[in-house]
Amino acid sequence: MGVTKEVLPKGPACLRLKQMPATASGGIILKVKPFLSRLGRLFQGLVLGIYAKEKDEDALQFTSAGDKFDQLVSGKLRELLTLSGPPLKAGKTRVFYGLHQDFPSVVVAGLGKKTSGIDELENWNEGKENIRAAIAAGCRQIQDLEITSVEVDPCGDAQAAAEGAVLGLYEFDELKQKKKTLVSAQLYGSDDDKAWEKGVVFAEGQNLARRLMETPANKMTPTRFAEVIEQELRRVSDSAEVHVRTKSWIEEQAMGAFLSVAKGSDEPPVFLEIHYRGSPNADDSPLVFVGKGITFDSGGISIKPSANMDLMRADMGGAATICSAIITAARLKLPLNLIGLAPLCENMPSGKANKPGDVVKAKNGKTIQVDNTDAEGRLILADALCYAHTFNPKVIINAATLTGAMDIALGSAATGVFTNSSWLWTKLFEASTETGDRMWRMPLFDHYTKQVVDCQLADLNNIGKYRSGGACTAAAFLKEFVTHSKWAHLDIAGVMTNKDEVPYLKKGMSGRPTRTLTEFLVRMSKDNSQ
């Protein structure tokens, strides 16, 4: 005789639908409809924050959202936390199951001290960094459980919480058959949707840069890079302009330094030029961003060691971050006029490549002796910086994974900034303190300029006379192509990758400092509107 049986979900919340049979033999009909109706709740997680105990406190100190949830479950969360072990340290998590039917899995993450704020020694807001790290850890815990949706405690700063969630969940797996569980994150227990959405946009901008930098060089060619940026910019802005300049245009512009690098590869060079016009005043001078776009750097004839050469797929990190920041600004509809310039090419050791000792001519007429073909980034930037001046910009900022010496100097702690403007440095520094993606000012002494202008065959040498101070002599070289009074060079070589230094970023290309550039633009837009 036929028997009707209802299948209810059993076991942990990570139970997959494909593990539940639709029918069974023996005349038994398994009704899965009730199960399907509960899928939204079954695959729903919750991440809550909890503060570290202060010396004079005995009770656990939840966030506002955590308190409300604990009341909802009649104090069970507080009870279980007390019984489950020592207090949670900042960035550490603990998972609880079955507390509430809407959230079968609840992750509690440590936020550190509630009083944490600006740390002048660390040059960041420790409270915001703690939120990003805690929420990222909690969301990853949900992802590991293969739960597809999570609601997130704002922890007093919805933007920082959103950044932690979106940055923490991202992982480049586009080329893998087996992919990580895709988790959607929403705000829990707060009406601060505006700040949450801002954080999502900031983080997605950095994730775009991460994707561009992580993609293998055979798939992220100069041509493909330009295509991706055009698609992304046109998707968010109807008024955007994109110019994909070909080799003939580059030749017309007399960009001999750029062309000298590009000629070593079979991949055609591209000079990408993007415009976002957000200012209500069409004649408002733009801010110009310039990014190094070497989509693969073998070193050329001065070839790099094979160990870790694969990382040089991200040598276009400067172009990736500046373009992503402009796209993010367009999504935010900032009232600014922005221009992004990215000379894109490969640096390869073919029979056509630059040879040590060759002399090339830049757009401004200066000649350059190329004594090291692996110092190619400064060559392509030289021409791009000359071109940047033609737009009568308010400021010029260039970003580049320029020197290994920068990594030696600062490691992954901060982007090195070389600038001729204390005003501009202050703006960048304040923005980096807010985002936690820090910057540190480096010297532009004439001491370094003397090392690149003392050249046997040409006006400049593309390397300094000595091995020491390599990041500084590279900056001094670029300064020879700048006449603007508000210029900054960001050497991002040290922050290109993340191993475990930034807890809310997984291992891989970091996309830094996209959020800091975006925050800088947000602050500039506020100044512009006053």
Residues 26-59 have pLDDT tens digits of 333 333 333 333 444 457 999 999 999 877 666 7
CA end-to-end span of the chain, whole Å?
Answer: 80
Cα atoms in the 13 Å half-sphere on the side-chain side of 51 = 21
Which of 9-18, 117-126, 364-373 has the least mean pLDDT?
A: 9-18
The two three-digit tokens of residue 436, written as one number: 């936690």
pTM to 2 decimals?
0.91
3-class DSSP state of 241: strand
Query: Within 10 A of 85 (CB to CB), how many other CB atoms are there?
Result: 8
What pLDDT score does 439 carry? 98
> Which residue type is seen at 284?
D
- Average pLDDT of the residues in 316-341: 98
pLDDT tops 70 at residue 13 = no
How many C-beta atoms surround the C-beta of residue 412 within 10 A? Answer: 18
**What DSSP element (H or E) covers 152?**
strand 149-152
Radius of gyration of the chain (CA): 26
Assign 256 a pLDDT band (cuts: 50, 70, 90).
very high
Mean model confidence pLDDT for the chain: 91
> Which residues are identified as catalytic?
304, 378
The confidence score (pLDDT) of residue 31 equals 32
Amino acid found at 457: L
Task: For residue 241, list its beta bridge partners.
Answer: 275
Is the torsion defined by CA of 18, 22, 25, 30 positive or negative?
positive
Name the band, by pLDDT with cuts 50, 70 and 90, for residue 529.
low
User: Which residue would you say has higher pLDDT here, 4 or 408?
Assistant: 408
| Chain segment 419-455, per-residue pLDDT in tens | 999 999 999 999 999 999 999 999 999 999 999 999 9
Token readout for 278 is: 């957000």
DSSP letter (8 states) at residue 98: E
154 upstream amide cis, omega within 30 of 0: no
Tokens of 94: 């603990």
Residue 218 sits at the vertex; the CA angle it makes with 214 and 224, to the nearest 5 degrees, is 80
Q: What's the rounded mean pLDDT across residues 243-256?
A: 98
Pairing relationship of beta strands 270-277 and 337-347 according to DSSP bridges: antiparallel
Q: For 287-307, what is each residue's pLDDT tens digit?
A: 999 999 999 999 999 999 999
Q: How far apart are CA 123 and CA 113, in angstroms?
A: 17
- Asked if 347 and 296 touch (Cβ cutoff 8 Å), the reply is yes
User: How many other CB atoms sit within 10 Å of the CB of residue 355?
Assistant: 13
- Convert the pLDDT of each residue in 334-363 to its tens digit: 999 999 999 999 999 999 999 999 999 999
Q: Can you give the pLDDT at residue 21?
A: 35
**The two three-digit tokens of residue 272, written as one number:** 């990408």
Helix, strand or coil, per DSSP, at residue 379: helix
User: Are the CB atoms for 290 and 396 separated by under 8 Å?
Assistant: yes
DSSP state of 294: E
Q: Is residue 19 scored above 70 in pLDDT?
A: no
22 pLDDT more than 60: no
Please state, in angstroms and rounded to a whole number, the distance separating the CA atoms of residues 338 and 356: 37
- Identify the weakest region by mean pLDDT among 33-42, 56-65, 514-523: 33-42
Please write the tens of the pLDDT for every residue from 442-452.
999 999 999 99
Coil/strand/helix, residue 524? helix
Whether 348 contacts 312, CB under 8 Å: no
Q: Which domains does the chain have, with CATH numbers?
A: 3-37 (no CATH), 43-191 (3.40.220.10), 205-442+485-529 (3.40.630.10)
Residue 68 has pLDDT above 90, yes or no: yes
Q: Please report the pLDDT score of residue 422 as a whole number.
A: 98
| pLDDT at res. 86 | 86
* Secondary element (H or E) of residue 29: strand 28-31
Residue that has been written with the tokens 């062309």 in this structure: 259
In 3D, which of 32, 48, 47 has the Cα closest to residue 147?
Answer: 47
pLDDT of residue 162: 98
CB of 398 within 8 A of CB of 478?
Answer: yes
Q: Strand 337-347 vs strand 287-291: parallel, antiparallel, or unpaired? A: parallel
